[in-house]
Structure 1
Amino acid sequence: MRARPVRTALLAVAALGLLPLTATPATAEAQPETGGRQHIAIHEGTDPAGPLLAAAYLRCFPTGGSHPTPEASCLKLALANGDYARVPQIRRACTRIYQPVTVVTHGTWHGRTTAYQHTYANQCIANAESGDIFNLTPWND
């Protein structure tokens, strides 16, 4: 008679998450990431096969990675729902010197796969049009 209340109590404790029902390691099922992960590469020229000028890894919510300004960049990406083409631009004067750069990004944003590629007339324009997300070194414009 006594075994039934003990088993019921153990099941109640397990349901509250205080006692695991199975003996699995805590890291077996990692929590899904809520933000995004982006790899950003900037290549010289009009082709992504051109020489690599700079690259960074950007992690959002929680922020981190090798990007020089992850907090600001993640906020700008959040405003655009992860779409680089919709990131608010910065108004700044850039030279008219044609030194094209091609930006290639890939990663995830809130569980969906993302990819972006665009050729800009020069790095200053790439920085301005991306709200400085593509300002990886950072360059002084």
Structure 2
Amino acid sequence: MRARPVRTALLAVAALGLLPLTATPASAETQPETGGRQHIAVHEGTGPSGPLLAAAYLRCFPTGGSHPTPEASCLKLALANGDYARVPQIHRACPRIYQPVTVVAHGTWHGKTTAYQHTYANQCIANAESGDIFNLTPWSD
């Protein structure tokens, strides 16, 4: 039988100290946090001090929170490695109305603290250029 030589070889390697027979528990400090937790907000105007238009909590891997599209938003953030500036844009026509909004996101992404803020000419442009991650309420043309 083939199983016996393999087991004998593993025991020999373990006896030499090259392969531990028992698993050692990893400490909580050495395991990086997986997924992400983001607080996302959209403010009226050119800064985060403007009136709050919408806010949501986005949890990734496992997905959840109060964000209207957590699965799609987490996937886009994962493809951009948690960097909102690298999320692919959605090409859509938006009205040329100047009604600025400022989007703000902060939280963690795989154990690293994240922060993002950007002002857009209007909500439609904010939604399109952020891959709809900041589309917290339906936009109507």
Shorter-chain TM-score: which interval? 0.7 to 0.9
Give the conservation status (yes or no) of the 8 Å contact 2:89–2:129. Answer: yes
Q: Over aligned residues, Cα RMSD in angstroms?
A: 6.0
CA shift in 2, pair 1:31/1:68, >3 Å: farther
Distance apart, 1:16 and its partner CA:
21
The 8 Å contact of residues 60 and 70 in structure 1, kept in 2 or not, is answered as yes
Q: Give per-residue Cα distances to partners, 1:25-82, cap 9 Å, x unaligned.
A: 9999998641000000100000110000000000000000000000000000001000
Give 1:10 deviation, angstroms: 22
Contact 1:68–1:138, Cα closer than 8 Å, also in 2: no
Alignment CA distance shift 1:88-1:16 (3 Å)? farther
Describe the superposition over 1:77-111 as per-residue Cα deviations: whole angstroms up to 9, x where unpaired. Answer: 00100000000100000011000000011000000
SS at structure 2 position matched to 1:97? coil
Contact 2:32/2:110 (8 A) holds in 1 = no
Q: Distance in 1 between matches of 2:5 and 2:83?
A: 55
CA contact (8 A) 2:41 2:54 kept: yes
The number of aligned residues is 141
TM-score when normalising by structure 1? 0.77
Note the C-alpha offset of 1:131.
Answer: 0.5
Comparing 16-25 and 93-102, the one that deviates more: 16-25
5+ residue gaps, structure 2 = none
Unaligned runs of 5+ residues in structure 1 are none
On the 8 A contact 1:37/1:107 being kept in 2, the answer is yes
- Asked if structure 2 preserves the Cα contact closer than 8 Å seen for 1:43 and 1:54, the reply is yes
